[in-house]
């Protein structure tokens, strides 16, 4: 760990941060205070300490050099949406999409939990920057945490330490994020956001989405509020570069709900010869109008916090290469060779191992070895297809925006919006089957507009209006085209209709060709769909029936879909923008 004189230097760099740290230390009473400088040596030292303390297990240095395994408390494995609050003076500002508490009450409740909670522990001060340090679009925060696991993850996921503190001092502002794992009692677990004060308080969980405050809390919930005020967007989106065999490159951003394949798409290996995907980010995009009037996207993170189960050499070879070293695995199986394993990893299960709860496990023990929401945290710089512009301080210009979800029926493989307003309607009506990324029942359909339902820090009706406003913020022909994709269609027997993964490059190809004006489409009541010959299915051996089902309109299914959207819209009472009501009415009219 860094030596005392350096702590003094960091602590004296910014009076506001130091005063806040002092105030928090008075409340939480830690045994010691440690200011993180973000250096590699600090990262290595902290990792060594946690290994010595058996809080982390080192993995096999030959097969997983520099990697460690962490096991969480069995109750602390996912985001807790029912315990996540947006605390604004007016309840209406948080909207029907957020749990709400008045700020005064929320602070009192949280401060009672934080009182004395760091006794005998170290208080880590983590200054961090979301986005490149030199980008005018980046925003900074300071996380105070008593979890060294959180510090290590923040090292991988953000630009943290000395350089961030310098930027905070230049900016004169930062988001205050106070975190403690407390006693991990789910009854005493809350994630509270105070967008009007630019602050976050998170207690009782060490899980990524609840505890790495730069990610969902700052870069989405707080940033979405700031973005609305300042005229930009903070979105739950991957960003990728797509290069055609002719060498033409387009950037795409795509919003899918948690655990619906954003990481897989973001670094996909196209099966179509000559096509290339490069990755800029897999979870969050900050988007703004650039000088030329186009929308520019930037990934504020520096790492991937991906779902492990299902990630394999076949489904995502670039992720496998990315987490092969210097990564943290959480809640997966430990094999006798000190390697990691999880379900659908594409390698044979070990004859015996230790499961995510630390219990002896065999493949026939009748239970999963890895938790379904087990994760890897890996540096983005290690991704073999990282885009050369992933740290460009200006971001990259978007040609298309994609929305998607897990929809076994009705929703076609790909559907192009008629115009921006129709695209916003598509985003607002996103629905998906729930997954293990949040506690609760998996596999039920819920509306998740823009894949932002758990992350929008203000009234979603105002958020829809904000999206619509971009048609006035720039010229329409500069806006990206909008698409809805669905890799998850099933036939009546429950069999997947579409192979997905690298084959999704066929859909990206159609989108790219549409943007360039060369691919054919047919206008239908629900949007522009590919003509049967426009989608490249060569070599897939798909039956004509399956190919047709993927790109056909199901009028009865869509009538039901429209009714369901209307019921969802009703939650926003009088606040829903008229343009979206019109879009729904128009869809119903077109469906007859
Ligand atoms: C995530 C999530 O971890 O969306 O990215 O839950
Ligand atoms: Mn996410």
360 CB-side CA count, 13 A: 2
Ligand 1: nearest atom to the Cα of 215: 5
Cβ–Cβ contacts within 10 Å for residue 528, how many?
20
Q: Please name each of the domains of the chain with its CATH number.
A: 4-35+78-230 (3.40.449.10), 235-299+390-552 (3.90.228.20), 304-378 (2.170.8.10)
Substitution candidate for ligand 1 out of 78, 84, 208 with most atoms within 8 A of CB: 208
- Percent of all residues in the chain with a pLDDT value above 70, rounded to a whole number: 99
**Per-residue model confidence (pLDDT) at position 1:** 44
pLDDT reading at 2 higher than 50: no
Q: Give the per-residue pLDDT at 442.
A: 76
Q: What is the best residue among 205, 305, 330, 377 to mutate for testing ligand 1's pocket, by most ligand atoms within 8 Å of CB?
A: 305
**Band (4; pLDDT cuts 50, 70, 90):** very low
Which of the four pLDDT bands, split at 50, 70 and 90, describes residue 8?
low
The pocket around ligand 1, CB under 6 angstroms, is made up of 79, 208-209, 258, 283, 305, 437
Q: What per-residue confidence (pLDDT) applies to 515?
A: 97
| Other CB atoms within 10 A of residue 441 CB | 7
pLDDT score of 443 more than 80: no
| Active-site residue flag, 260 | yes
Confidence of residue 439 (pLDDT cuts 50, 70, 90): confident
Residue 351 banded pLDDT, cuts 50, 70, 90: very high
pLDDT mean over 160-171: 97
Lowest mean pLDDT among 138-152, 289-303, 355-369, 537-551: 537-551
Q: How many A from CA of 117 to the centre of ligand 2?
A: 29
Q: Is the pLDDT of residue 55 over 70?
A: yes
pLDDT at position 532: 83
Q: pLDDT category, 167, cuts 50, 70, 90?
A: very high
Radius of gyration, CA atoms only, the chain:
24
Query: Cα dihedral angle (411, 412, 413, 417), rounded to 10 degrees?
Result: -90
* Alpha carbon nearest to ligand 1 atom 3, residue: 209
Mean of the per-residue pLDDT values of the chain: 96
pLDDT of residue 444: 81
Is the confidence at residue 547, as pLDDT, over 80? yes
pLDDT of 314: 94
Least confident window among 38-47, 93-102, 364-373, 530-539 = 530-539
pLDDT band for 3, please (50, 70, 90 cuts): very low
User: What's the confidence (pLDDT) of residue 277?
Assistant: 98
The predicted structure's pLDDT at residue 33: 97
Tell me which residue of 412, 397, 396, 400 sits closest to 514, measured CA to CA: 400
Which atom of ligand 1 lies closest to the CA of 262? 5
Least confident of 194-198, 231-235, 438-442: 438-442
How far apart CA 42 and CA 567 sit, in angstroms, is 52
Give me ligand 2 centre to Cα 314, in Å: 22
Atom of ligand 1 at shortest distance to CA of 79?
A: 6
**Token pair of 556, please?**
């009865």
Query: What average pLDDT does this structure show over 300-325?
Result: 97
In this model, does residue 179 exceed pLDDT 50?
A: yes
Name the closest ligand to CA 238: 2
Cβ(551)–Cβ(438) below 8 Å: no
Quick one: which atom of ligand 1 is closest to the CA of 375? 3
DSSP for 512-570 reads HHHHTT-S-EEEETTEEEE-TTTS--TTS---HHHHHHHTS--HHHHHHHHHHHHHHHG
Q: How far apart are CA 110 and CA 28, in angstroms?
A: 11
Which pairs with CB-CB distance under 8 Å and at least 24 residues apart come from 347-356? 347/312, 356/71, 356/331, 356/332
Among 79, 300, 309, 435, name the best residue to mutate to test ligand 1's pocket (greatest count of ligand atoms within 8 A of Cβ). 79
Active-site position among 140, 260, 430, 512: 260
pLDDT above 60 (res 576): yes
Q: What is the pLDDT of residues 471-502, one digit of tens each?
A: 999 999 999 999 999 999 999 899 999 999 99
What is the distance between the alpha carbons of residues 521 and 530, in angstroms, rounded to a whole number? 4
What integer pLDDT is reported at residue 6 of this predicted model? 55
The ligand minimizing its distance to the Cα of 437 is 1
CA 177, distance to chain mean position in Å, is 19
Q: Please list the helix, strand and coil fractions of the chain in percent, rounded to the nearest 5, in that order.
A: 35, 25, 45
């Amino acid at each position: 760990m860094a030596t005392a004189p350096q702590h003094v230097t960091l602590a004296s760099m910014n009076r506001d941060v130091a005063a806040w740290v002092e105030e928090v230390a008075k409340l939480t009473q830690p045994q010691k205070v440690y200011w993180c400088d973000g250096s590699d040596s600090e990262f290595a030292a902290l990792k060594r300490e946690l290994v010595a303390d058996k809080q982390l297990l080192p993995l096999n240095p030959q097969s997983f050099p520099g990697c460690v395994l962490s096991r969480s408390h069995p109750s602390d494995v996912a985001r807790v949406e029912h315990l996540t609050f947006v605390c604004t003076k007016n309840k209406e500002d948080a909207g029907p999409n957020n749990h709400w508490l008045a700020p005064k009450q929320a602070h009192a409740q949280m401060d009672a939990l934080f009182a004395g909670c760091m006794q005998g522990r170290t208080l880590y001060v983590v200054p961090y920057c979301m986005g490149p340090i030199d980008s005018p679009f980046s925003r900074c925060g300071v996380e105070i945490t008593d979890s060294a696991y959180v510090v290590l993850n923040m090292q991988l996921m953000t630009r943290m330490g000395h350089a961030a503190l310098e930027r905070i001092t230049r900016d004169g502002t930062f988001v205050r994020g106070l975190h403690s794992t407390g006693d991990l009692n789910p009854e005493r677990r809350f994630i509270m956001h105070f967008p009007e004060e630019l602050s976050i308080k998170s207690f009782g969980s060490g899980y990524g989405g609840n505890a790495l405050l730069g990610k969902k809390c700052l870069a989405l919930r707080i940033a979405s509020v700031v973005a609305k005020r300042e005229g930009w967007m903070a979105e739950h989106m991957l960003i990728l570069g797509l290069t055609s065999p002719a060498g033409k490159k387009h950037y795409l951003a795509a919003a899918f709900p948690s655990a619906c394949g954003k990481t897989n798409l973001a670094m996909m290996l196209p099966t179509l010869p000559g096509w290339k995907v490069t990755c800029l980010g897999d979870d969050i995009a900050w988007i703004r109008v650039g000088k030329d009037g186009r929308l520019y996207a930037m990934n504020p993170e520096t790492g991937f916090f991906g779902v492990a189960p299902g990630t394999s050499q076949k489904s995502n070879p670039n992720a496998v290469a990315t987490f092969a070293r210097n990564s943290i695995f959480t809640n997966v199986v430990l094999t006798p060779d000190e390697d990691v394993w999880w379900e659908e990893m594409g390698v044979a299960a070990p004859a015996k191992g230790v499961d995510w709860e630390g219990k002896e496990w065999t493949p026939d023990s009748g239970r999963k070895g890895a938790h379904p929401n087990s994760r890897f945290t890996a540096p983005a710089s290690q991704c073999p297809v990282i885009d050369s512009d992933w740290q460009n301080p200006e971001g990259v210009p978007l040609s298309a925006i994609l929305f998607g979800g897990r929809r076994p029926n009705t929703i076609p493989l790909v559907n192009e919006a008629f115009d921006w307003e129709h695209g916003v309607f598509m985003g607002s009506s996103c629905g998906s089957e729930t997954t293990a990324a949040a506690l609760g029942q998996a596999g039920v359909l819920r509306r998740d507009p823009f894949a932002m339902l758990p992350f929008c820090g203000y009234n979603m009706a105002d958020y829809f209006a904000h999206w619509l406003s971009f048609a006035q913020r720039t010229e329409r022909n500069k806006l990206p085209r909008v698409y809805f994709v669905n890799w998850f269609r099933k036939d009546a027997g429950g069999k997947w209709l579409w192979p997905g993964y690298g084959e999704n490059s066929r859909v990206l190809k159609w989108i790219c060709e549409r943007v360039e004006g060369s691919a054919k489409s047919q206008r239908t009541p629900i949007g522009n769909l590919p003509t049967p010959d426009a989608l490249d299915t060569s070599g897939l051996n798909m039956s004509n029936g399956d190919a047709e089902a993927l790109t056909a309109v199901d009028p009865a299914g869509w009538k039901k879909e429209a009714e369901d959207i209307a019921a969802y819209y009703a939650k926003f009472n009088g606040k829903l923008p008229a343009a979206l009501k019109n879009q729904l009415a128009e869809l119903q009219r077109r469906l007859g």
